[in-house]
Structure 1
Amino acid sequence: MLTDYHNHLETGTLSLDYLRKFTDAAKEKGIDCFGISEHAYHFYQTADILQNSWVNERRYYDMKDYVSLFHQAWDKDIDVKMSIEMDYTPGKHEEMKRFIQAYSFDYVIGSIHWIGDFGIDLAEYKHEWEKRDINEIYKKYFDQVVTLAESNLFDIIGHIDLVKIFKYVPENEEFLLEQYERATDALANSKTCVEISTAGLRKPVGELYPDKRLLEKCFSKNIPIVLSSDAHFPEHVGADFGQAVALAKEAGYQSIMTFSNGVRKEYPLG
């Protein structure tokens, strides 16, 4: 069984023709369970959750059009799961909960891209890394991983160690492992799965998410996994999944989680 649950249409259109390019690519790659999880900040309905100048310029979709697209696909017997990738926003739990519960998502991804007004993975903000204390960034980032898990709002945490994207990593390994430990403790007490994402291989860090040491901690605490490519173009669907499966098995995993209508089932890892 292979999944690819983290994919975006934002570089094209919310149209059936563009969606088919992704689902066709998934079929070609032998992906059994495929889903689209557009960024929630693109939708007018999330304006009460996340507000900043970068995001506000990119809020141009309506959820009714998004939901309609999936119904069009299902009417054509296209097998695709409907999801959303939400920027986990501290202090906005009730607003996030209302949004999530307003739609019949197959699953919901929660990700961390912002520490306050600092977009940690955005090229426009990369200069900020040189101005800030790396340990403090990691501490605040993993604070959010913990509270994301504790919220129990999300089925999957996206690219759990995205914070390493530009190769800024604490020199103190003990400190880093402490962050991994508390993050996995929180996830183990939640419903949240961890994705192995191949997107990091296409980023400056040149590595899978998560770090093998972090994934091993996930396995030791029985935290389930899914596989994702975080494709923003059809050609990236299922990219480098051989490496993702190998990492999963090296960490000890033999199974993978699937989602449909919010219900999860475990299958042997392909």
Structure 2
Amino acid sequence: MLTDYHNHLERGTLTLDYLKQFTDNAKSKTIEHFGISEHAYHFYQTKNILSNPWVNERRYYDMEDYVKLFQQAWDAQIDVKMSIEMDYTPGKHQEMAEFIKNYDFDYVIGSIHWIDDFGIDLGEYKHEWETRNLKETYTSYFDQVVTLAQSNLFDIIGHIDLVKIFNYIPTDEEFLFEQYERATTALANSKTCVEISTAGLRKQVGQLYPDPRLLQLCYNKGIPIVLSSDAHVPEDVGRDFDKAVDLARSVGYTSIMTFQKGERKEVPLG
């Protein structure tokens, strides 16, 4: 069994024809559980959760249209899960919870893209990495991983070590392990799964998310996993999944988690 739960329509249109390009590719790669998880910041309904100049320029969808798209897909017998990828926003737990409960999502992904006003994975902010203290940035990032897990709002944490995207990685192994250790302890005490994401292979870092050492800690602490490509175009659906499966098996995983209307079910890793 394979999942691809983290995918985006934002470079195309919220139409059935475009959605079907994704689902057709998933089917061709024998991905049995496929979902779309558009960025929540694109929707007007999240203005009270995350707002900054970069995000506000890219807020142009209405959740009503998003839900209608999935209804059209289900009416057409297209098997696709409805999800959302939320930017975890400290101090906005109540607002995030209210947004999530308003929609019948199959699952919800929580991800960390911002440290205060610093967009850690955005090209527009890349220059800031040269001026920031690397350990402080990593500490702040993993602080959010911990509180994301403690919030218990999310079914999946997206690309858990996205902070490495531009290959700025501390060389202090003890420090790095401390971040991994506290993050996985918090996740183990939550309902949150970790995704193995192939997106990092298409980024400057050239690595899967998470780091094998981080994933080993996940396995050791009994944290379930899903597989995701974080495709922003149809042709990236399921991309490099052989590498994701190999990584999962290398640390001991033999199963993955699936979701249906918030209900989770463990299935063998295919």
Q: Residue in 2 aligned with 1:137?
A: 137
Q: Residue in 2 aligned with 1:116?
A: 116
Distance in 1 separating the partners of 2:203 and 2:218: 23
- How far off its partner does 1:171 sit? 1.4
* Mapping for residues 99-114 of structure 1, pairs under 5 Å: 99-114=99-114
Secondary structure of residue in 1 paired with 2:69: helix
Q: Deviations over 1:93-136 (max 9, x none)?
A: 00000000000000000000000000000000000000000000
Question: Match of 1:32, as an amino acid?
Answer: E
Question: Match of 1:160, as an amino acid?
Answer: I
Q: TM-score, normalised by structure 1?
A: 1.00
Distance in 1 separating the partners of 2:237 and 2:185: 31
Q: Deviations over 1:49-100 (max 9, x none)?
A: 0000000000000000000000000000000000000000000000000000
* Mapping for residues 1-270 of structure 1, pairs under 5 Å: 1-270=1-270
Distance in 2 separating the partners of 1:77 and 1:171: 50
Distance in 2 separating the partners of 1:87 and 1:207: 22
Distance in 1 separating the partners of 2:116 and 2:162: 16
Distance in 1 separating the partners of 2:201 and 2:169: 16
Count, aligned residues: 270
For structure 2, the 5+ residue unaligned runs are: none
Distance in 2 separating the partners of 1:155 and 1:263: 10
- How far off its partner does 1:242 sit? 0.1
Q: Deviations over 1:192-229 (max 9, x none)?
A: 00000000000000000000000000000000000000
* Percentage of pairs with the same residue: 77
Question: Match of 1:139, as an amino acid?
Answer: T
Let me know the Cα RMSD of the aligned residues.
Answer: 0.2
Q: Deviating runs (4+, > 3 A) in structure 1?
A: none
Distance in 1 separating the partners of 2:203 and 2:27: 25
Distance in 2 separating the partners of 1:47 and 1:4: 28
- How far off its partner does 1:240 sit? 0.1
Distance in 2 separating the partners of 1:171 and 1:8: 33
Distance in 2 separating the partners of 1:214 and 1:237: 24
For structure 1, the 5+ residue unaligned runs are: none
Q: TM-score, normalised by structure 2?
A: 1.00
Question: Match of 1:179, as an amino acid?
Answer: Q
Secondary structure of residue in 2 paired with 1:109: strand
Question: Match of 1:94, as an amino acid?
Answer: Q
Question: Match of 1:169, as an amino acid?
Answer: I
